[in-house]
Amino acid sequence: MTVLPPQPLSPLDGRYRKAVEGLGDFLSEAGLNKARVHVEVEWLAYLTSHSLLGATPLSDADLKALRAWSAGFGQTEIDELAETEARTQHDVKAIEYLVRGQLKRQGLGHLAELTHVCCTSEDINNLSYALTVQRAISEVWLPKLLSVIAELERQAEQYREMPMMSRTHGQPATPTTLGKELAVFVYRLNRQVAQIERIEYLGKFSGATGTFAAHLAADPDADWAAISREFVEGLGLDWNPLTTQIESHDWQAELYGRVAHTNRILHNLATDIWSYISIGYFRQIPVEGATGSSTMPHKVNPIRFENAEANFELSNAILDSLAATLVTSRWQRDLTDSSAQRNIGVGLGHSVLALDNVLRGLGQIDAAPEVLAADLDSNWEVLGEAIQTVIRAEVTAGRSTIEDPYAALKDLTRGRRIGQADLVEFVQGLEIGDEAKQRLLALTPATYVGSAAQLIDYLDD
């Protein structure tokens, strides 16, 4: 049997790589290691610039060269780390040796013992994960989400006044506009964006069990809590003063919960759009050269929304698991989180892939106003709500003595298809004021949309 050469196991690294490749800069093993090197180098820079633990400041040229090396982390460093880790069997220790080696190459070997000083591996890891997740969200996931929201908002405005039959419980209900229904999703998603943008990316930097014990042993006069805070905040993170060996990961659980909630809103959007396509409210725009069905040439399948559904579900399976797992650590530390966090990129990757499909799907549909109009014209019974409500107001105002208007309209409309002529005849026979009667006679399913079009303006608040 022929053995295949090594192949990517995850479709995110194979079939769908192009859609998610931006995440690899941050949430891959290499992305994590680049962040680890960055944290180690910045800690060295902090120690030397503040003359801590016997260090003296680096020259501007030496510091610039060290930071340039860190920023240029690439294949050479990846290969060296792999070789070192094979020997150390410890990923962060391999990072320490990599930095030590660079110091010696730059003629800064006298600073080698400051590498990783006063640090536990988790001091480096928690900051590195916070930095990589922060950047993955802000530079990849959130821009993709905002693109989806922008397209939805554009279509909400485009279809602001296009009347559409509502469906509650799958049955014809009070009409709305297509634009207003899309605007509902824009509003929901914007709320999630606002909450995600407020998430704190917490970091700890306080030693083996979060007590600064080694720090104080080395220099009992330094204000290590203040130093830790300044260093963590200098990286662009929020400082967590009270931790065990690990940062407690609550911010991660909060973030992944919010991303998962956003996924669920978009999953709802995908199923709604799919359903609208199925009843003809939206036409799909054929893609040149694409095959809709392998055997039925007339079909254009709504695959973008189906793909999105599947990937939102996969994303949430991982993100929900991470949110549940990461908030628990036995006593002062266990390694459950270490294995779990290596899948952050997978969870966000499936979400990015789903977002990409939603965005592409939205760009391949167009409303079918004639179908929407025909559906409205076939359901005049939905005006029963308006008629019975007007009668109630007329009774209250003393202009009618009709008893139980709801029952009267139920007898007329429930379980029956009635047309315009039936409703006109019914309204003309009502004992109500003339102004109210004329208002009802002027109504059609297409005009009975309330303030749906104007409600879209609330997106600007």
123-162 burial, b at 16+ Cβ within 10 Å, e below that, comes to: bbbbbbbbbbbbbbbeebbbebbeebbebbbebbeebbeb
How far is CA 319 from each of CA 188, 253, 315, 325, rounded to the nearest angstrom?
20, 8, 6, 10
The span from the CA of 123 to the CA of 212, in Å, is 11
* Residue from 191, 80, 130 nearest 461 by CA: 191
Find the Cα–Cα–Cα–Cα dihedral 306, 308, 312, 318, rounded to 10°.
100
Tokens of 337: 């989180």
SS3 233: helix
| 390 phi and psi angles, rounded to 5 deg | -65, -40
The span from the CA of 380 to the CA of 444, in Å, is 7
Helix then strand then coil, % of the chain, to nearest 5: 65, 5, 30
The span from the CA of 362 to the CA of 344, in Å, is 27
* Residue from 368, 359, 360, 386 nearest 444 by CA: 386
Known catalytic residues?
Answer: 169, 293
The span from the CA of 428 to the CA of 438, in Å, is 9
Sign of CA dihedral 20, 342, 5, 78: positive
